[in-house]
Structure 1
Amino acid sequence: MKLNSIGLDTEKTKGLANDLNQLLANFQLYYQNLRGIHWNIKGRGFFDLHVKFEELYTDANLKVDEIAERILTLGATPLHTFEDYTKAAKVPVGKNISKDEKAVQLIVDSLSELLKMERSILEAAGDANDEGTNSMMSDFITEQEKTVWMMKAWLGETV
């Protein structure tokens, strides 16, 4: 087994970097969805949702950077073109969404896809003894589970 400079198996880190690149691409789409619903939201919930969507896209932007930096730490190159992002798309694309319930449902659906990817990466990171990626995924999952719960509560649904 060949180890890289941070003590991880180079073959396993290649796989993790690929998985993280898929997550990065989908996070970029999620981020853009959040910008779109932030700009286009209408109705009586405008003031509250406009602020909430800004909070979420600011957080997503930070996570995009963290994912890209982790990919670099593992010795790979982060995806960085919209062409790459759309090829890797699993999160739904929200276009011209201005209704509150549709916007909140888009967030729930997007986070559900991201959580699936993150859980898979968490498992692979554990197998590779990659505590850095493991910790990041664990933190993301904890935050996003809470956001899903809150959005589902807003929709009047349970998780």
Structure 2
Amino acid sequence: MKLNSIGLSASKSKLISDDLNTLLANFQRYYQNLRGIHWNIRGKRFFDLHVKFEELYTDANLKVDEIAERILTLGGVPYHTFEDYISNAKVRAGKNISKDEEAIRLIVDSLQELLIIERAILETSAEASDEGTNAMMSDFITEQEKTVWMMKAWLAEEI
């Protein structure tokens, strides 16, 4: 078995890197959604939601960088064009969303899609003994599960 420079299977690292690129594309769409709702939110909850959406997009931007750097660490090349993001994203694009409940629903739906991708990566990275990717996915999942819970509580929906 050929190992890469960090001691992991080169072929398994390639698969993980490809999966991380899918996650990267979806995170970029999620990030853009957050920017859009941050800019366009209207109504009586504007002040609270405007700040919350900025917090979320700032965090998403940091995670985009972490994902890209992990891809590079594994020997891959991160997606970096809008074409790549659009053709590989499953997170739906939110356009012209200004109502609070619709914005929160977009966040929940996006995070649910990200969680599916992250759990699949977690499984693959565990099988490859890739603790770096494994730890990153575990951290992302923990944070995002809490955000989904909070957003669903805001919507007055059951988790």
Query: Under a length normalisation based on structure 2, what TM-score does the superposition of the two structures give?
Result: 1.00
Runs (4 or more) in structure 1 with deviation over 2 Å come to none
Report the residue type matching 2:132 in the other structure.
Answer: G
1:6-52 Cα shifts (integer Å, max 9, x gaps): 00000000000000000000000000000000000000110000000
CA distance in 2, matches of 1:40, 1:22: 27
Q: Percent same amino acid among aligned pairs?
A: 77
CA distance in 2, matches of 1:63, 1:125: 18
The correspondence of residues 49-128 of structure 1 with structure 2, limited to 5 A, is 49-128=49-128
Report the residue type matching 2:63 in the other structure.
Answer: K
Matched positions, count: 159
Query: Under a length normalisation based on structure 1, what TM-score does the superposition of the two structures give?
Result: 1.00
What is the deviation of 1:94? Answer: 0.2
Structure 2: state its 5+ residue gaps: none
- 1:37 pairs with 2:37: yes
Report the residue type matching 2:34 in the other structure.
Answer: L
Aligned to 2:131: 131
What is the deviation of 1:158? Answer: 1.3
- Helix, strand or coil at the partner of 2:78: coil
CA distance in 1, matches of 2:158, 2:13: 37
Q: How big is the alpha-carbon RMSD for the aligned residues of Structure 1 and Structure 2?
A: 0.3
Report the residue type matching 2:142 in the other structure.
Answer: T
CA distance in 2, matches of 1:33, 1:5: 36
CA distance in 1, matches of 2:33, 2:4: 36
CA distance in 2, matches of 1:125, 1:152: 29
What is the deviation of 1:151? Answer: 0.2
1:124-158 Cα shifts (integer Å, max 9, x gaps): 00000000000000000000000000000000001
- Helix, strand or coil at the partner of 1:6: coil
Aligned to 2:158: 158
What is the deviation of 1:5? Answer: 1.0
CA distance in 1, matches of 2:88, 2:111: 15
- Helix, strand or coil at the partner of 1:80: coil
Aligned to 1:20: 20
What is the deviation of 1:116? Answer: 0.1
